[in-house]
Structure 1
Amino acid sequence: MYRCVLPLMLAVSSLPAQAQQHRFFPAHALRGELVITQFPDAKLNGKPARLAPGSRIKGDTNLWIPPAGLTGQKLTVHYTVESSGLIMDVWVLNPVELANKPWPTTPAESARWQFNPGNQTWIKQ
């Protein structure tokens, strides 16, 4: 019964090293500031927003985080929005990802700039 605990502990102990790696984000992911007020309600860039049913929030170590555990925290994130305007995917950024600038904050910027998916960088045009 306790045989599974040691491999799990070893996997968890390696997480801080993974937190410093840059993850791959879709080209339509935008950068913003998210505050979950009372799930599923939130503020995105200071404006009222709502998390979609089935939305996923991944922390800076790329592990899923329950939204209620983030209530009231101001987080810099990358996020995607579904066709109805609800927030679908959220990634809390780690220091390496935060340093990757520029990153579009609006769909208009995303449409004007050029994205290189291989090295996850944007070029303003």
Structure 2
Amino acid sequence: MTRCRATPFSATTSPHSFWRALAAALGTALVLASTPATAQVPSGMGSVRNFPDAALRGELTVNSTADATLNGNAIRMAPGMRLFSPQNTLVMAHTVLGQRFKVNYVIEPSTGLLISAWILTKAEASQPRKASDSVGRNFRVDSDTTPR
């Protein structure tokens, strides 16, 4: 019975391919080692974002991947909740646990779950927007002092 001897290189591969693969693996390891372990949310890069008309303004603190505090009140996050950075990229909720952000947000009307939130830059936060604690109504009463 003839047995094959195990060699690191077969007759069809060159020894140079081993060194190329090793160099690629080391390069990848260096790139991954240089990335931070926790996500940091950098400031905006000057792009203008358009928020939905239904978006409200508030303070958001992510407590867990399913729970958050919005304007001091506990709220559940929808399973598909999207949190956007100032650059409009997705932020994973587990990377910003315990951090407080000024956000525009949308609540899903039928379930009352937080479905989307956009972390605001200082410029976006300075622009006026309806907050969740403001009173919105479609009628007038005699005690209203400002004409509509």
Query: What TM-score comes out, normalization by structure 2 length?
Result: 0.59
- Structure 2 residue identity aligned to 1:95: K
Q: How does 1:71-90 map to 2 (within 5 A)?
A: 71-82=97-108, 83-90=110-117
Q: Which residue of 2 aligns with 1:12?
A: none
Q: CA deviation at 1:99?
A: 1.6
Contact 1:42 1:48 in 2 (8 A): yes
The unaligned stretches of length 5 or more in structure 1 are 3-15, 113-124
Identity %: 33
Structure with higher strand content: 1
Q: Which residue of 1 aligns with 2:56?
A: 30
- Runs of 4+ in structure 1 deviating by more than 4 angstroms, as ranges, are 107-112
Which has the bigger relative contact order, CA under 8 A and spacing at least 6? 1
Q: Which of these two proteins has the greater Rg computed from alpha carbons?
A: 2
Q: Which residue of 2 aligns with 1:70?
A: 96
Q: Does 1:20 align with 2:49?
A: no
- Structure 2 residue identity aligned to 1:69: T
Query: What TM-score comes out, normalization by structure 1 length?
Result: 0.69
Q: Does 1:48 align with 2:74?
A: yes
Aligned equivalents of 2:137, 2:81: Cα separation in 1: 24
CA RMSD of aligned residues (A): 2.3
The unaligned stretches of length 5 or more in structure 2 are 1-23, 25-41, 139-147
Aligned equivalents of 1:21, 1:110: Cα separation in 2: 30
